C-alpha cells in the first residue's frame, strides 16, 4: 500500500470538510490517555527535558557551519540551551534549489502521502511539541498541546487538502477536437502545475507551529522546496515538525533538504537575506506590520502575510450581561492577550448596554468585566494555566506603560504566583477607560493583556469606529453583542466591508480568539492585518502556475 492509499480516506474527508465548512478534526484536541496512550504525557515531558542543553541532531541537514540557539523559557526565565545547526543563506538556497528539481517531479498523490505520513509521525510527538511550546512561548499547557499539536496538524492537513484539490482541478491531458467542416482539427493537449520554486516560511515567537505549518505544507504539496526560518526565540516546536518531514522524505528516497530548518540568532538574523534572495519566489510571514509590509513590497515574489491588527468588541444589547462579561474576561486573560485574535477595544455606548431588564450602565459593565478578570486570575486551579506566561519582556513593559494612558484605570496589571513555576514571567490584564473622541490612543495595536473600554455616543459610533480602524489599521477578529436583528445586520455588513469576520453573541465555552480549521478563514486578506487567508483557494493556487502544451494528433 502506498502512503497515498494509506492516507487517502483522511484526505478525502478533509476535502469534503473544506466544502461543507462544518466541524471536522482529524487530530484529537484533548490530551486523553485513551487516545494518545497512558504514558504519552510523561514520556513527552521526559523527552523534552532530555533535549535541553544539547544539540538538536535530528535534522538531516549535513555539514552545519556552526551550532547556536538562544531560546529562553518564560516559565523558568532560564535559557533552554538547545543548539541548532547553522547554515549560510547561500548553502540553504543551493540545497533548496537542488531538492526542488527532484520534488517538483513527484506526483501530487505521492507528495500528499508523504506529507500526511509526516503529520502521523508528528502526532506521536504532540506532547514533546507541547512542552517545547510552553517553554518557548509561555502558553499554558492545554493551549500549547492543542495549538501546536492537533490544531496545527489540522491546519497543515487543510493546506494539503486544498493544494491537492487544486492540483487536480483540471485534467492532465485531453484530446481537443474542433469541427472544421469536411474535417476535424485535433490536438493533443497537456497541462502541468508548475511550482514557483523556493519558499521561505518566517515563523513567530508566540505560535511557532500553528502559524507556520499552513505555509510549509501549502508550499510542499504544490511542489515547492521550503526553508523554514523560525523566530530565534521559538525554534524547538517547529524543528520537531521539520525533522519528521525530513525523515519521511529520506525514507522515500527523496532529498531531505526539500524542507530545511534555517535557525538563526538574535544577533545574526538571516531573514532579510533569505527574503531578498532572487531565487526565493514564495514568502510566508507572521509578525509585525512594519516587517510584513516590507516583505509585501519585495518585487517578483508571492508573499503571504499575517500582520497586526486592532480587534474590536461592539456592545449594544445582551440577553445576559454576566455571561457576556465572563466570556470577554476569559478572552482577555487567555494566554495573557498574546493572540493575534485577542480583543483590545471594547466599544460601549455612554447610555449603557441594553438588557431584557433594563440598561446596564458603562460603569456597571466595567465593574462586572473587572470582577470576572480578577475572579479567573485568583482561581488557583484555572488562572495560572489560562494566562500562561509572557513570551517577550517587552510585552511586560508595554502592559505597565499602558497604565499611563490618558483615561481612567479600572484595573492595574499585577503579578500572580504560578504554582508550578515560581519564576514565571507573568502579567495580568490592565483595563483602561478611554473616551471615544481620543482615537489616537486606541487606533494602534497594544499587544498583550491590555483592554480599552471606549465610551462612545451610541452603537452607530461604535460600529463606525470599529470599521474605520479595521480599514485603516487592520483587524483579524471582531466580537459583537446585540439582540436587535437590524443592528446585527448593520454590524455584519459594515465589518464585512472592512473584511473583518464577526463573532456574534458568544457566551460559554467559545471565544472570539478561536479559529477552527476547515471552517473559519483565519485572516481574510482584505484589510491591513494581512494579505492572505488560511485557507482559501488563492492561498495554494498562487504557489504554482498552470502551463499547457499542445501538438497535432498523429
* CA–CA gap between residue 359 and residue 349 (Å, rounded): 11
Task: Please report whether residue 525 resides in a domain.
Answer: no
Q: Cα angle at 320 between 315 and 324, to 5 degrees?
A: 50
Interacting residues of 397 by C-beta distance below 8 A, sequence separation 6+: none
Residue 59: phi and psi, rounded to 5, are -70, 140
Are residues 169 and 118 part of one domain? yes
Q: Which residues of 350-449 form beta strands (DSSP E)?
A: 353-355, 358-360, 408-411, 430-435
Provide, rounded to the nearest whole percent, the portion of the chain with pLDDT above 70: 100
Are residues 232 and 128 part of one domain? yes
Beta strands 345-349 and 450-456, pairing class? parallel
Task: Please report whether residue 518 resides in a domain.
Answer: no
Helix (H) or strand (E) segment spanning residue 325: helix 321-333
Are residues 243 and 99 part of one domain? yes
Task: Please report whether residue 520 resides in a domain.
Answer: no
Residue 84 belongs to domain spanning: 3-305+532-552
* CA–CA gap between residue 417 and residue 384 (Å, rounded): 7
Are residues 224 and 357 part of one domain? no
Task: Please report whether residue 388 resides in a domain.
Answer: yes
Q: What is the mean pLDDT of residues 419-448?
A: 95
Interacting residues of 134 by C-beta distance below 8 A, sequence separation 6+: 73, 75, 140, 141, 144, 388
Is the pLDDT at 554 greater than 90, yes or no?
A: no
Q: Which residues pair with 500 in a beta bridge?
A: none
Q: Cα angle at 155 between 143 and 242, to 5 degrees?
A: 85
Tell me, what CATH number does 410's domain have? 3.40.309.10
Instruction: Decide if 459 contacts 314 (C-beta within 8 A).
Output: yes
Interacting residues of 376 by C-beta distance below 8 A, sequence separation 6+: 329, 330, 333, 382, 383, 386
The structural domain count of the chain equals 2
pLDDT digits (tens, 9 = 90+) for 44-59: 999 999 999 999 999 9
Residue with cell 524542507: 259
Are residues 93 and 140 part of one domain? yes
Are residues 491 and 367 part of one domain? yes
For residue 13, the 8-state DSSP code is: H
Instruction: Decide if 82 contacts 128 (C-beta within 8 A).
Output: no
Helix (H) or strand (E) segment spanning residue 394: helix 393-402
pLDDT digits (tens, 9 = 90+) for 94-106: 999 999 999 999 9
Are residues 244 and 206 part of one domain? yes
* CA–CA gap between residue 72 and residue 78 (Å, rounded): 5
Are residues 295 and 323 part of one domain? no
Tell me, what CATH number does 267's domain have? 3.40.605.10
Residue 19: phi and psi, rounded to 5, are -80, -40
pLDDT digits (tens, 9 = 90+) for 23-32: 999 999 999 9
Are residues 424 and 395 part of one domain? yes
Q: What is the pLDDT of residue 197?
A: 98
Q: What is the pLDDT of residue 149?
A: 98
Q: What is the mean pLDDT of residues 9-23?
A: 97
pLDDT digits (tens, 9 = 90+) for 439-478: 999 999 999 999 999 999 999 999 999 999 999 999 999 9
Are residues 372 and 285 part of one domain? no
* CA–CA gap between residue 261 and residue 227 (Å, rounded): 6
CA distances from 478 to 306, 492, 532 (A): 16, 10, 18
Instruction: Decide if 285 contacts 303 (C-beta within 8 A).
Output: yes
Are residues 70 and 148 part of one domain? yes
Task: Please report whether residue 196 resides in a domain.
Answer: yes
Task: Please report whether residue 336 resides in a domain.
Answer: yes
Task: Please report whether residue 287 resides in a domain.
Answer: yes
Residue 16: phi and psi, rounded to 5, are -60, -40
For residue 189, the 8-state DSSP code is: E
What is the dihedral angle through the alpha carbons of 433, 438, 443, 446, rounded to the nearest 10 degrees?
A: -40
Q: Report, in angstroms and rounded to the nearest whole number, the Rg of the chain calculated over CA atoms.
A: 25
Interacting residues of 451 by C-beta distance below 8 A, sequence separation 6+: 332, 337, 343, 344, 346, 369, 429, 430, 431, 432
Q: What is the mean pLDDT of residues 5-34?
A: 97
Question: Which DSSP string corresponds to 446-484?
Answer: --SSEEEEEEESSHHHHHHHHHHHHHHH--S-EEEE-S-
Q: What is the pLDDT of residue 45?
A: 97
The rounded mean pLDDT for the chain is: 97
pLDDT digits (tens, 9 = 90+) for 197-239: 999 999 999 999 999 999 999 999 999 999 999 999 999 999 9
Are residues 333 and 442 part of one domain? yes
**What's the grid cell of residue 143?**
493551549
* CA–CA gap between residue 532 and residue 535 (Å, rounded): 8
Task: Please report whether residue 430 resides in a domain.
Answer: yes
pLDDT digits (tens, 9 = 90+) for 108-122: 999 999 999 999 999
pLDDT digits (tens, 9 = 90+) for 244-253: 999 999 999 9
Is residue 156 very low, low, confident or very high in pLDDT (cuts 50, 70, 90)? very high
pLDDT digits (tens, 9 = 90+) for 257-312: 999 999 999 999 999 999 999 999 999 999 999 999 999 999 999 999 999 999 99
Instruction: Decide if 62 contacts 36 (C-beta within 8 A).
Output: no
Amino acid at each position: 500500500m502506498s502512503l497515498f492509499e494509506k492516507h487517502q480516506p483522511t484526505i478525502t474527508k478533509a476535502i469534503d470538510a473544506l466544502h461543507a465548512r462544518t466541524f471536522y478534526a482529524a487530530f484529537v484536541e484533548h490530551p486523553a490517555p485513551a487516545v494518545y496512550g497512558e504514558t504519552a504525557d510523561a514520556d513527552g515531558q521526559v523527552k523534552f527535558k532530555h533535549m535541553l542543553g544539547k544539540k538538536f541532531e535530528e535534522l538531516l541537514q549535513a555539514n552545519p557551519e556552526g551550532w547556536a540557539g538562544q531560546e529562553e523559557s518564560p516559565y523558568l526565565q532560564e535559557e533552554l540551551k538547545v543548539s541548532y545547526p547553522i547554515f549560510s543563506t547561500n548553502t540553504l538556497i543551493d540545497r533548496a534549489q537542488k531538492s526542488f528539481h527532484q520534488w517538483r517531479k513527484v506526483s501530487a498523490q505521492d507528495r500528499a502521502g508523504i506529507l500526511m505520513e509526516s503529520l502521523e509521525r508528528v502526532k506521536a510527538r504532540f506532547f514533546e511539541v507541547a512542552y517545547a511550546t510552553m517553554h518557548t512561548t509561555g502558553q499554558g499547557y492545554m493551549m500549547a498541546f492543542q495549538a501546536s499539536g492537533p490544531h496545527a496538524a489540522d491546519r497543515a492537513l487543510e493546506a494539503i487538502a486544498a493544494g491537492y484539490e487544486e492540483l487536480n482541478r483540471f485534467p492532465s491531458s485531453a484530446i481537443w477536437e474542433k469541427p472544421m467542416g469536411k474535417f476535424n482539427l485535433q490536438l493533443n493537449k497537456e497541462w502541468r502545475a508548475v511550482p514557483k520554486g523556493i519558499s521561505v516560511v518566517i515563523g513567530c515567537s508566540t505560535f511557532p507551529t500553528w502559524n507556520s505549518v499552513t505555509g510549509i505544507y501549502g508550499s510542499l504539496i504544490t511542489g515547492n522546496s521550503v526553508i523554514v526560518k523560525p523566530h530565534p526565540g521559538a525554534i524547538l516546536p517547529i524543528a520537531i515538525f521539520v525533522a519528521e518531514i525530513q525523515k519521511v522524505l529520506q525514507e522515500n528516497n527523496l532529498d531531505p533538504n526539500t524542507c530545511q530548518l534555517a535557525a538563526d540568532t538574535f544577533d545574526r538574523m538571516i531573514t532579510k537575506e533569505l527574503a531578498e534572495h532572487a531565487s526565493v519566489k514564495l514568502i510566508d510571514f507572521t509578525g509585525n506590520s512594519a516587517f510584513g509590509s516590507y516583505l509585501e513590497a519585495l518585487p517578483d515574489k508571492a508573499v503571504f502575510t499575517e500582520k497586526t491588527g486592532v480587534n474590536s468588541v461592539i456592545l449594544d444589547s445582551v440577553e445576559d450581561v454576566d455571561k457576556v462579561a465572563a466570556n470577554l474576561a476569559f478572552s482577555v486573560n487567555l494566554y495573557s492577550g498574546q493572540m493575534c485574535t485577542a480583543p483590545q477595544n471594547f466599544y460601549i455606548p455612554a447610555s449603557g448596554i441594553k438588557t431584557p431588564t433594563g440598561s446596564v450602565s458603562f460603569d456597571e459593565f466595567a465593574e462586572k468585566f473587572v470582577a470576572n478578570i480578577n475572579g479567573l486570575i485568583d482561581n488557583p486551579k484555572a488562572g495560572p494555566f489560562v494566562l500562561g506566561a509572557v513570551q517577550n519582556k517587552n510585552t511586560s513593559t508595554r502592559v505597565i506603560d499602558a497604565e499611563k494612558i490618558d483615561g481612567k484605570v479600572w484595573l492595574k496589571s499585577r503579578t500572580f504566583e504560578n504554582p508550578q513555576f515560581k519564576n514565571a514571567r507573568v502579567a495580568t490584564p490592565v483595563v483602561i477607560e478611554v473616551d471615544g473622541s481620543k482615537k489616537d490612543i486606541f487606533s494602534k495595536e497594544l499587544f498583550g493583556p491590555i483592554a480599552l473600554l471606549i465610551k462612545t455616543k451610541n452603537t452607530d459610533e461604535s460600529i463606525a469606529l470599529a470599521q474605520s480602524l479595521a480599514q485603516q489599521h487592520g483587524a483579524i477578529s471582531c466580537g459583537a453583542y446585540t439582540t436587535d436583528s437590524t443592528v446585527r445586520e448593520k454590524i455584519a455588513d459594515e465589518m464585512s466591508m472592512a473584511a473583518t469576520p464577526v463573532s456574534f453573541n458568544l457566551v460559554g465555552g467559545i471565544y472570539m480568539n478561536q479559529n477552527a480549521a476547515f471552517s473559519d478563514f483565519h485572516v481574510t486578506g482584505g484589510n491591513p492585518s494581512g494579505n492572505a487567508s488560511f485557507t482559501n483557494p488563492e492561498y495554494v493556487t498562487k504557489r504554482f502556475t498552470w502551463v499547457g502544451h499542445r501538438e497535432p494528433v498523429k
